[in-house]
Each structure stands twice: as structure tokens, then as C-alpha cells.
Structure 1
Amino acid sequence: MKARILQNQYYSFLAFSILSSSFIANLWIFCSVTNAQQQMQMAHSNIGKTNAAPFSGKDPITFQADKVSYDSKAGEVVWEGDVHIWQNDHTLRADKVTFNKTTNIATASGNVAMVEPDGEILFTQHTQLGNNMQEGIMDQVYALLADGGKLAANGARRTGGKVHDFSRSVYTACPICAKNPKKSPFWQFRSYQAIRDMENQRIDFSDTFIDFWGIPVFYMPFFSITDPSVKRRSGFLIPSINWSSKYIGAYTTIPYYWAINKWSDLTFIPLFATKTGPQLSTVYRARFNKGMLRVEGGIADDTVGQHAWYNSYADRSVDKFKKGAQGYLFLKTEWALNDHWRYGGNINVASSANYMRDYRINGYGQDTLESDLYLEGFGEGSYSKVSVQAFQGLNRGVINNSDLPFSLPRYTYSYFGQPDALGGRFSLNTTDFVLYRPRGVNDQRGEVALNWDRPFDDSAGRKWLITLHVDSNIYRGTHLNEQPGFYRTRKSQFTGQALPTFAVKMNWPFLREFHIGDSTGTQIIEPIVQLIAAPHSKGGRNFYMPNEDSWNYEFTDTTLFALNRFQGTDRLDGGARANVGVHGNWTWNGHQVDFLVGQSYQEHIQGHMPARSGLDHHMSDVVSRLRISPVQWLTATGRTRVDPYDGKVNFADALFNFGFSHFGINGGYIYEPVTPYYYFYRNPYDHEGASKLYWQKTNELTLGVSTDWDHWHASAFGRRSISRKETVAYGGTVGYRNDCFSADVIYFKQKTMINGEENSDMVLFMLNFKTIGVFGING
């Protein structure tokens, strides 16, 4: 259970007595210097300013009143009528204000209103302060706070100038019924007594009820918070209680916050569980003039038993970390060298994935934890970054730490120039690195990519783009026969590649207007032709050239007109080819239909490509995209890739959203005749070819529904693998929300296996009180 109080600003009304005493005391200082009637003047109020100065005995006081009288013998000054008094953006309004020097008592009565610079307003009918403003009382206190909160109290008392006692106070952030102000709000906090200790900077509450619709539902005999005038203060935070966890059972945390100084703090979070040993984690934060530092870490006695399990490849996996002491460290820092350069680092390590799973450490569920140190600079049209990177594998069913690379270092530079004398723009990119793997390919790469684009239009309305592009790389690789390359050599190799490319692209849009009833629309038909000339790269396959950034290859409408359809530059898409397509768009009365269909014609067939890639013939698959919004309550997008020789669909996906004012349905679908994720799990070039898992179809459907009515809302979703005939995940939420309160119940179930964990469930209950905070229970 996580329970947090975000900011208790609504208790700022407790500052009224300080406001009263300082204000009235300064009134006497002003009046004892000069005659009040002679000094009466108008002033401009600055209510609402957040940078207002506090009350001061030296700053002048400005007032306005219908009548002012001063009795020198009695030592008394009286303001009557519509009294307004200002000092440093603070305002006091009353029907009558009296200060008696003899008794040292100041009294304000009749529709008293005190306004603070942030907009908070305090109302009462009578307040009286005495004993050099160290003692005071206030009757029937009402407050309208800047954050929308509302307060009422029977009365308040000031003692010794340090302690303020409020009796029978009520607070709410909900609207008050205008027709029936006595009607109870949706929720309210009722306290028998609230004591503000100015010396110790804390507020203690006793006998507090939380009411809903005027009915008490929860009771707190005592609780304490830091004084709202203090931004940061050391002390215990709200503890959390979690009723159930799959691995560690019920557990509780009791955080302690230490405000070290104005720029740094430290939070201790001890955890105690029923099924495993305790954990102590800490969070240190610091901000400086030119940088920041955040360090989070923990250590635990993890006694949860480990077990072996098998992944989809039938590989047996056992966590090498035994029971006992385990821990984690997450560090983030960043510093500015000057206006153009900064450096920083991220260190993320954990003793084991099972430990992160057991104690629900942030980051569990990812495939890896990444750490890096970097230096980066920003210029006009340019960017530069040098970094070192390391990875820790968390999903042992897919990734082993010995297979992951270290980047020692990695350098990236990008430049995009201004238009030149010919109307073109030059750009340069380079990504260079040194990679080391404990088990696998080790390689070094140097790269330069040069590009020049020249767009122009002709008199027929055609839009042209001429591109001159050069990719060049040099490599040195060792252990090339190991993963992820699986090449047929054990020798160290030094090689390279260079691919100059010339491309011309023409878009010829035809535009016309049309009429449907009283509506006017536009129609665009746009043929697109692109010619690309480059040396044949044999599908980018070089048996001595490492591949670090071009494993993923997807031919769709998004890459139809790309110069290089590989994801990176270790593999280059060469050869002469022509790409053609037709783009169309109809728009009318807020509705739209947009489509693109196209195909690529290649001189050379791309070899060594995954099956069903769409580019294993001179005439590629036909790719298409369709987006429709025929009515306001329906939008849909679909994409396909179809083999022109056998008519088979090699790729398809779709998204749709159907919804009215109180109901909606959304969904998605994806299909591929293979599962490309598994293609390179083992050597795809040996006699066995790709893994059997690669030939399993990807065929999944996701569907979600949602509804809302008045203050209620609900939603549900499900994801199902049609090819495997099993549900992958499902969940939902039900909740209530109004202007001052929200409550949600969330459920999620995941049936796929991650790191040996499957059929995981999560239930979360959340309550959100406006201006107070969020309370949660999860299991």
C-alpha cells in the first residue's frame, strides 16, 4: 500500500495569527510617528503576486477609511467605515480597526477579510490581539485558499507568539452548494483540535474524521505534518502497507526524509516483508548551480527460493545468484560546462533480475539495464556526443550478459547546413564506435555519411528533389564466427565499404475542389516516382563486415522511398531501382480519406534477406496504407504488403477508434507469416537456417472498450495471439471522478513469460483527494 500526502498547502490558513499580529503591530508603528488623518492616502493593491515582501516594521503602511480618529490622551487610533489597509501586498479589510497603546490590544471587527499575496482570503467577524501581539483570539474563522480549498473553524487562539490552537476545524476542496450552503460537501476533514507549533515547525491534529456526504467513514486519532510555511523538513513520511506480493508476501515501508540543506536531501526507505528478509533503500538528491545528482540504491537479504525454467528455445536457465545479500544502484548526474557543452552519466546495476523482481525495483521487466558516461555539445545546426556504454541483461530467456556489448567509446556527430548558392542543403553524419563482447564479435567502426538535397518546383506544378548521398564505413572485426555475426572465419578482418547514391524524386500533385451538398472539399491525386542509382551492394552482405545496427529490416509504406531501407548503415541498400507510388487525399467537412500505394522495381535482387521480406524479387511486394475518417466517431488506419506473384499477404496491421460521447472502442491487429524477432537467434546462414520459432506466424488482435457516464468511467482491454490460440494479456479499470476526488480500481494480468515469470497479476486501488494527495493499495 502506497500512501502519500503530496502538499498540505491547505493548512496555510494557520498562518493567520502571524499575519494579524504583524499587520496590526505595524499599524501602531505608523500611527505613533505621525497623525493618521494627515497621512491618509490611496494605494494600489498587488494581490496575487507570489514574490511579495513580508510584513515589516520599517516599510510604510497605506490605508483608506471613511473615518479616522486619534485620541492622544487615551493612546488610541480608530479606523471606521470601509477600512482597507495595505503593506507589502498584504491587505486587511474591516468595518472597524482599533489599536490601544495603553492596553496594547488591537481589535478588528465587522466583516474582517485578510488577503495574502497568493490570493488566499481569511474571513472573520472579530479578532483581538494583545500582550505585544503575543496573545490573541479570533472568532468564527473562514478561509478561501489559493489552491481552491475551503476552511471553517469555531475559533482560534494564539499563545506566547509561538503556538496557535484551532478548535473544531473543517476543511474541504469540494464545491459548496450555492443553493444550500449548509449541505455537506462530497468530502471533508473534521478535526477537534489543530495545534500549530511555530518553534518546532509542525502541526498536530487530534480526533480527525474523514466524511463523505457528511457521513464519517474514517477516523484518525492523531497525525502530524510539517508546517506549510516550511518548504522542506526532516521527518517520517506516510508509511505504506501492501497486502500481498507473489514473492515477498505482505510488506510495509516506513520512509524517513532528511532535509540535509537547501540544495540536497536524503530519503531512507526500510522495507519489512513476511516471506523474505528486509531491505533498506535510499534516495539522495542534490541540485547545484550547474548540475544535478540523484543516487538511488538498496541492499536486501533476499531469501526467496529460485528455480530453473526453460525458455522458448528449450534452454535451461538458472539464476547464478543464490539467496542472501543483494542490492542495486541507480545513479544519474548531469553538469553544464558552458552554454554549448554538458556532461553526465547514468549508472544502473543490480545484483540479479530475480532480486529486482522480488522487491519490485523500478526497471524490472526491461530486457537490459543501460549505463553510460557522456559528453555532448549543441551548436547551430550541429550536435556532437561521445559516450561509453555498458549493458546488463535482465531477461535471461533472451539475453545473456556475456553476449552484451560494451561501447568503449561511441561517438556521434550530426551537421545540417544552411541553403547554399545552388539552393541545396548539405548534411553530414557519423557514428563511430569500439565494441567489446566477453563472448561474441568485437569490432571497431568508422563512418561518414554525406548528403546534399536540392528541392525545386517546375512550371507544371511538379515538386522535385535531387539527392547526392555517400555512405562510407571502415571496420576491424575479431571473433566474427561467434554471435551475432556467425561468419565463416575465425581470423581478424579489416574491411570497408563505400556506396555513392544518386536519387531523383518527383511528386506531381493534382488538386481540385468538389461539392457534397452544402459542403466543399478538396481532392488530391499525387503520382510519385523516384529513381535511385547506386552500385550493387549484394544486399549489403559482406562476410567480413560486422553488423551492429542493421538487423531489423522492414519494407513498408514508411520505407518505400528511403535511400537505405536497412535500419542502420552497417548494411547498405544499393543497386539501381525505381520506386513508384500514388498518394491520394479527400477532405470535406472535417472528414478525410488518405491512401498511398506503391512498389519498387529493382535491377538486382537483394540477397541474404529474411524470407518474406518483400524484396526477394525484381518486382517487390506492393505496399499500401489507408487512413479513413468518414464520420467524426470513426477513424481507422490499415497497412499491407502483398506478394505480386502469389498474392499472399506478407504483412498487415490496422488501428481503429470508434467512439461516441460516452462510449468508445479501439483496437489493433498485426499479421506476418513469420516472427522476425527470432530470425537471428542462431546462425541463419548454416544448413539448418533460421530457428523454427521464426516460421511461426505473428497474428495478434488487441481490443479495448471504454465508457463514461456522469462521474463514472470504466475501461477494459485484451490482447490475444490468434496463431497461438492464447490470450497474451488483459485488464481493466473502474473509477469515479469529480471536481475534488477520484477513485480507481485497476487490474492487469500478463500471461506471457518474462525472465521465467508468467501469469503475473496486479491489482491497484487509488484514492485521490484534491490538494491532499494520492493514497494507493496494490498487490
Structure 2
Amino acid sequence: MRNYSSPSLFKKLTRKIARKNKHKTLLLISIFSGSIGTIGLLVDQSVFAQQQVQIAQSNIGKSSGTPFSEKEPITFQADNVSYNSKTGEVTWAGDVHIWQNDHILRADKVTYNRTTNIATASGNVSMVEPDGEILFTQHVQLGDNMREGVMDQVYALLADNGKLAANGARRTGGKVHDFSRSVYTACPICEKNPKKAPFWQLRSYQAIRDMENQRIDFSDTFIDFFGVPVFYMPFFSIVDPSVKRQSGFLIPSINFNSKYIGAYTTIPYYWAMNKWSDLTLSPLFATKTGPQLSAIYRARFNQGMLRVEGGVADDTVDKDSWQNAWGNTLHSNGHGAQGYLFLKTEWSLNKNWRYGANINVATSADYMRDYRINGYGQDTLSSNLYLEGFGEGAYSKVTMQAYQGLNRGVINDSDLPFVLPRYTYSYFGQPDALGGRFSFDTTNFILYRPTGVNDQRGQASLNWDRPFDTNIGQKWLVTLHVDSNIYNASHLYQQPLYLNKYGSHFTGQALPTLAVKMNWPFLRQFKLGNTTGTQVIEPIVQLIAAPHSKGGRNWAMPNEDSFAYEFSDTTLFALNRFQGTDRLDGGARANVGIHGNWAWNGKQVDFLVGQSYQEHVTKNLPRNAGVNRHMSDVVARLRFAPTQYFTTTARTRVDPYSGDITYGEGIFNAGFKHFGINGGYIYEPVTPYYYYFGNPFTSTGPSKLYDQKTSELTLGASTDWEHWHASAFGRRSLSRKQNVAIGGNAGYRNDCFSLDVIYLKQYTMINGEQNSDTVLFMLTFKTLGTFGING
């Protein structure tokens, strides 16, 4: 490469290039202090500039570009080049490309004056910034290596489909763009009629885009919908759309008519502390109670993460006493200085082991109710510390757990356990030489209650399954299974067992089980007219042999995981129909069932009917368990899908002696293109939730609330049409003749805007609160944020 230093040589070279090269010419020019220093002829490659534009456009939303520099070369490409030695002007014409690092300028014509160091571009001008922003204009003057400039009729394409147009703009220091009479939107522009107003836009007297601080400040601004102004703001500021996170105030929320704290507002502040952590502070001010300050800290590291949320408040709400469902009078205890802490963290030791913590505590449930802390409405807050490992076919976890009751009408904190600790291990092996698979599970813990049973448990379950098929289509499964537990327990006379046992007891149980199950599916294809389909009839038989366990009720054994006994189509062929292993389903029994399926042209009918026959009957089960006699209730399931627009599934359990329905449920879904409806119904002659409230084994039996029939109906509907959507639901207890909950939402959503109105009414009592209403109104503007009002 040869070097030229005099303007005369530059003149000769540029004229020669202009005469002899009709194709595009690429030049590299270094500019220092307004003078032209070195000129070199490079390669003829018109595709290069196009690639640079495509790369810049793909960078929208990223800030990885190189800043302006006086020392970096500026590269030019054009169809024609001319030089005027008298004026000192170089003119590029015809598809001009100019770029320095990640800054690109395209125009029909560019004139550069080496004396004034000013470049003037005209005709289809576009300027691509390092972060991918593209400025379009018809005329621009640039100086100081493109860091200073004035533009007419500017249109800017920003990140996240943001668009900004203005009558004019001024660039200062390559860092600030000052737009006059600007319009900003993130909505699509109509292709057929570009002058048509977008769905929404910010129309401002002035907009200043500070690329160094990454913000856009609007002054004297109207928010227009379809070109009609609906809201005025003297000043409005947003984070630049190219920025993913930046410190500053977030959109405040205004909430009206809160039941306990009145109208209130929150003004969050977001602090981007560094690349891996941030902090959000949210002060809350209310009309009926004292203020609250809450905060959320988040951090992510190479080997783990940390999230801490907490708050402190002066809760002046002193609610009157109230009565729970059993007539007990309770008093509010959640006023004065209050607070909460939610902590979640997790760290990896290596590829197989990790540890973490979930800590959730609050000074009172009343405080969570008053300030609507996330998690209120649940029965408990749970906390744990854990260490867990993953292996090939194996899983291991040790954890320490604690609970805090939130629904004081049902749960007392002194009744809740501390688990110190709990260890779980599970292993599932590969097929062995006999074609079977071995698995092993163990769950062991030490459990303490301030009021109630205290116990320590060691438990192990061994299982071996061997499937095989016969030549006549039978599918067999042979299972060898052993459950074993050892216990050391005290206070068995207290909740939740209420056994007539005092002092400490060391005991245990072991239950070996042999099970053989046979499925014999009969499959055929059928054709009826133009319709073809398949039909499956599958008898199922299972024989189980095991010692009679008596359910553990006659032993001095605690019960931590087997309060619920579920007998349905889902557990008909289960070895143990208790949910855990503290109570075991022993004894010899036979389970039989028949499964059928018809499928044709997208339609389907599927059913299962079965029953269990038991040599021994487990005593002290709830009277509605379904297995209180040698011949169990009949369980059945039916799924019916006559069209692609409708499906329904029903389950039931029927007493074979009286013909009474002891359990029933059904759900359905019907839907078309723009409309859907769903519903469900559940029936049970008792309310099983209340069985263990109090001592169910006394002469009077369980609580009277247990005898109340469960009959509940739920209905919901939803619709959508283009950008509109709406839904509603209702849940009613037919047996109690009262609603449980109703609610609905309606809204509008498109590419740049969404509106949602949500309503929910709860009729049930939680911690003394009944008939609570919630209304939420949310407006979301793309790139601007969400404005919410909650009542």
C-alpha cells in the first residue's frame, strides 16, 4: 500500500478513480483534526457494507458497539467519487456507505469539507448506531467525526420495535439526541396508510435521548390513542428500549378501597447494583394504617443464586374478635410493628450435589392479610434447609423443615411440627439377569411438636418388578415388595393420633407383599360405513398376598403421612392405598377390573370399572373410605369425547350393598374457535377435611362438620375475538347453599398494548376474613411498563 500526503496527489487519484471505475469504489481514510492524512485503495466489494448494516440491525437492544474515536479509520464506499481542490470538498454519490467501527451512514450523496471537518448527507439517509438504533432522515450535517450533527424530519427505529419520529434532531457529543416535536410508539405502523395514527403514541414537545445514561426524557407530553389525546403529562421518563436493566423509579401503583388499609400507593425504586445483582425498594403509604417499606434483593452467581424479600410496617389495624367454624373466639394479634422475610437461595457443589434454603416467616397472619403479602391465603408458610444429590437412577436429599400457620381458624402454630431433619433416598436399578428391576426407597425423620406427638422414624421399602408377556397376549407383572418401619414415639395421646398410649414407645412393623397382576387386552379394528376405528377390551386381575397389617391402629405407632385413604380407579391396583407408609394396606385381596376403549375419527370412549375383595378388613378407617367391608365399593371412570369440541370425564364410587354413591366427580370441556365453557362437580356424603379435627376415635366419633355433605359445582366460560378476551367462573356449594368464589376478567391485547380488568370475590373465611373482594385494573404499554390499580 502506497502513502500519499499532498492534496494534489489526492486530487489526481480521486479523479483517476472517478474516470476509470464505473463500479463501486471502497476507500479507507484516516481523519485527524480536519485534515486528510493517508489514502489507500482497498478491495472492490459492495457486499461488505450491506453485511455491516445487517450486523448492526441484529444488534438492536445490545450495547456492545465501539464508541466514536478520532483515531479509528473511517471507511467510505460509493458509486462515484469527486474532489474539488478549490473548496477542499470530497463528494461521494450513488449508494454511499460510510462506517467507523459499528457506526454506519448511508445516503444518496455525501459531501465532506476537509477544512471545516463537516460532512453533509442528503437523500435517503440512514445512520446505524452501535446498539442497533437506526436513524432515517433526508438531510443531515455531521461534524467532529460524526459526533455532532443536525437532522431534518427524523425517524428512529429503536430496540423492541420502538419508533420515534421528530421534525428535527440535534446530536451532541455522540451521546445525546435532542428531538423536537417528537412522537414515540412501540406499535406497528400501518403499511397501507403510514400516516394513520398508531394504536398509542407519546406526543411530546421535546424528547431527549441520553445514550450515555440510557434514558429518554419526554417534556410536555400527551398519550394518544388512535391519534386522540387522553392523558397529559408535563414530564415523563423511560429507560431506553435498548436497555434491559437500569436504576431508577419504576411505575407507581395506586390502589383504592382496600378493606384493611384503605387507599394506598407504592413508589418502587430499582437499583441495578451490578451485572449480577439488583435491589428493588417499595415504600407503601396508606390512608388507614401506617407505612410499609419492603425490598427485594436478587443476585445470580456462577454457582448459585440468592433472592431475599422482606418488609417492615407499622400496622395500626386492630380487627375485632371473630369466631371460627367450631365456635371458638379468636382475637387479632397482628398490629403494631410487623414484618416478614422470604429468602430463597441455591448453590451447586458440583454436577451431582447442590444445597439451598427457603426461609419464609412473618410476624403474624393478620399482618400478611392487611398488607396483602404474597403467600397470604395459604394454610401455612413453610421453611426448609436442604442438601440434595442426583445420580444415575438415584436421588438423595436431607432437609430440615418448619411451618408457620396462617389460617388461625383451623391451624395453631403449636400443633405444627419441626422436622429436624428428614432424609430421603431413592434408587431405581437397571434390568437384571432375571429381567426384573429393583428399587429402594427410604424416608427417615426426627419430628417435634410443641403440642402433639413427637417421634423418630426409620423406614425402608424394597421393590422388585418382573414383567413378561405370553403368546396369547397376556401382560403379566410379578412384584415382590417389603415395607418396614421403626419408631420411637411419645405423647401419642395428643394430636394428631389421640391414642390411649402414654409415655415413650419403641416399636415397628414390616410387611412383605407378593403381587401378581395380569392385563389381557383384546384388540380389534372395525368399520362402519366410511368410519374405521379400533376397539380394546382389557380384563385386569391382580392378586395380592400379605400379612394382615390391621392398619397399624393396634400398635403404638405414630402416623405422619397416612391420614388420607383414597380408594378410587387411580388406586384400585395400588399395593398400598394409604398415601404414605405409616399405615399399610395388608392382608390378602383380589382386585379385578375391566378396561375398554373405542376410538374412531377423532372420537373416543374410554372406561374402567373395578372392585376389590379383601380377606381382612382394616378397622378405624373413615366410614366413607370405600373398603370397610370384605367386598369394596365399585369404582368406575368414564371419559367421553364425541367430537373434538367436547370432552368429559366422570368418576364414581358406589356401595354394592345399598347402591348409594359414596363419591362422585365429573368435569367437562367444550370449546369452539372463539368460545369455551368448562365445569366440574364433586359429591361426597361427608366432608373428609374435618375427619381428624379433634379425636375421631371417641364414642362420639369425628367432628359434626365431618357429617356435612359435600356437593360443589364449578362453572367457567371464556371467549376471545381477535384482540379481545373475557372469562368468568363461579364455584358454589350446593349442600351449604352458598357461593365459594366468583370471578372473571376481560381485556384487550395486541402487539404493543394490553388492558386487563380482573375481579375476584371469596366467600370462604380465612383468618376471620370473609366476603373479600379484589379488583385489579392493569394497562401495559410495550417498552413503557405496566400501570396497575388494585381495589
Instruction: Return the TM-score normalized by structure 1.
Output: 0.92
Conserved 8 A contact 1:387-1:411: yes
Shift of 1:562: 0.6
Q: Which amino acid counterpart does residue 106 of structure 2 have in structure 1?
A: R
1:240 is aligned to 2:253: yes
CA distance in 2, matches of 1:577, 1:286: 56
> 1:610 pairs with 622, 640, 656, which one?
622
Candidates 699, 721, 731, aligned match of 2:743: 731
1:709 Cα deviation from its structure 2 partner:
3.1
Of 651, 656, 662, the residue aligned with 1:650 is 662
Per-residue Cα deviation, 1:173-194 (whole angstroms, up to 9, x for no partner) = 3332333222222221111101
Is 1:220 the counterpart of 2:233? The answer is yes
One of 775, 779, 782 as aligned partner of 1:763? 775
Q: Residues 285-329 of structure 1: CA distance to partner in whole angstroms, max 9, x if unpaired?
A: 2222212211111111111112211111112222344x3111111
Aligned with 1:624 (options 633, 636, 642) = 636
Q: Does 1:433 align with 2:437?
A: no
Matched, 1:442 2:454: yes
Q: Distance in 2 between matches of 1:116 and 1:516?
A: 68
Structure 1 residues 272, 598: CA separation in 2 closer, same or farther (over 3 Å shift)? same
How far apart are 1:744 and its partner, in Å? 2.0
Per mean C-alpha deviation after superposition, the further-off stretch among 694-703 and 129-138 is 129-138
Q: CA deviation at 1:161?
A: 4.3
Give the structure 1 partner of residue 503 of structure 2.
491
Structure 1 residue 561: Cα displacement: 0.7
Please name the residue that 1:176 is paired with: 189
Q: 1:276-675 to 2 correspondence within 5 Å?
A: 276-321=289-334, 323-675=335-687
Out of 692, 711, 716, the position equivalent to 1:704 is 716
Q: Distance in 1 between matches of 2:263 and 2:99?
A: 57
The answer on whether the counterparts of 2:615 and 2:630 sit within 8 Å (CA) in structure 1 is yes
Question: Structure 1 vs Structure 2: percent identity of aligned residues?
Answer: 75
Cα shift readout 1:532-589 (whole Å, capped 9, x = no counterpart): 1111111342430000000111100000111110000111111111111111111111
User: 1:220 offset after TM fit, Å?
Assistant: 0.6
* Aligned with 1:714 (options 697, 709, 726): 726
- In the other structure, the counterpart of 2:160 is 147
Which stretch of the first structure deviates more once superposed, 361-370 or 226-235? 226-235
What is the deviation of 1:219?
A: 0.7
Q: Which residue of 1 aligns with 2:198?
A: 185
Task: Report how far residue 671 of structure 1 moved.
Answer: 0.3
Match of 2:281 in 1: 268
Amino acid across the alignment from 1:372: N
Q: Which moved more, 1:92-101 or 1:749-758?
A: 92-101
Change in 2 beyond 3 A, CA 1:145/1:462 = farther
Classify 1:191/1:581 alpha carbon distance in 2 versus 1 (closer, same or farther; 3 Å). Answer: same
Query: What residue identity is the alignment partner of 1:429?
Result: D
Change (3 A) 1:608 1:72: farther
**Structure 1 segment 689-700 matched on structure 2, within 5 A:** 689-700=701-712
SS of alignment partner, residue 141 of structure 1:
strand
**1:127 aligns to 2:127 (yes or no):** no
Shift of 1:518: 2.4
SS of aligned partner of 1:694: helix
Q: 2-side partners of 1:173 and 1:232: how far apart?
A: 18
Q: Which residue of 1 aligns with 2:219?
A: 206
DSSP 3-state at the match of 2:689 = helix
Tell me what 1:4 maps to. Answer: none
Measured after TM superposition, the shift of residue 171 of structure 1 is: 1.9
Q: 1:503 to 1:102 in 2, by over 3 A?
A: same
Q: Deviations over 1:470-499 (max 9, x none)?
A: 111101101110000101011200011111
Q: How far off its partner does 1:351 sit?
A: 0.7
For the aligned residues, what is the CA RMSD?
2.4
| Residues 493 and 502 in structure 2, CA contact (< 8 A), matched pair in contact too | yes
Deviations 1:333-369 (A, max 9, x none): 1111111111111111111100111111111111111
Work out the CA distance in 1 between the residues paired with 2:29 and 2:152. Answer: 21
Distance in 1 of aligned mates of 2:299 and 2:42:
54
C-alpha displacement of 1:728: 1.2
2:512 and 2:216 map into 1 onto residues whose CA distance is 73
SS at match of 1:651: strand
- Note the C-alpha offset of 1:167: 0.8
CA distance in 1, matches of 2:117, 2:688: 86
User: Could you say what secondary structure the match of 1:402 adopts?
Assistant: helix
- Amino acid aligned to 1:177: C
* 2:53 paired with 1:41: no
Question: Distance in 2 between the 1:738 and 1:65 partners?
Answer: 42
Conserved? CA contact 1:553–1:567, under 8 Å: yes
Mark the runs of 5 or more structure 2 residues left unpaired by the alignment.
Answer: 1-25
State the Cα distance separating 1:707 from its structure 2 match.
2.4
CA change 1:756–1:176 in 2 (3 A) is: same
Aligned residues: 755
Q: In structure 2, give the amino acid aligned to 1:579.
A: N
How many angstroms does 1:260 deviate by? Answer: 2.7
Contact 2:30/2:72, CA 8 A, preserved across alignment:
no
The one-letter amino acid paired with 1:252 is: T
The answer as to whether partners of 2:333 and 2:366 remain within 8 angstroms in 1 is: no
**CA deviation after TM superposition for structure 1 residue 28, in Å:** 4.4
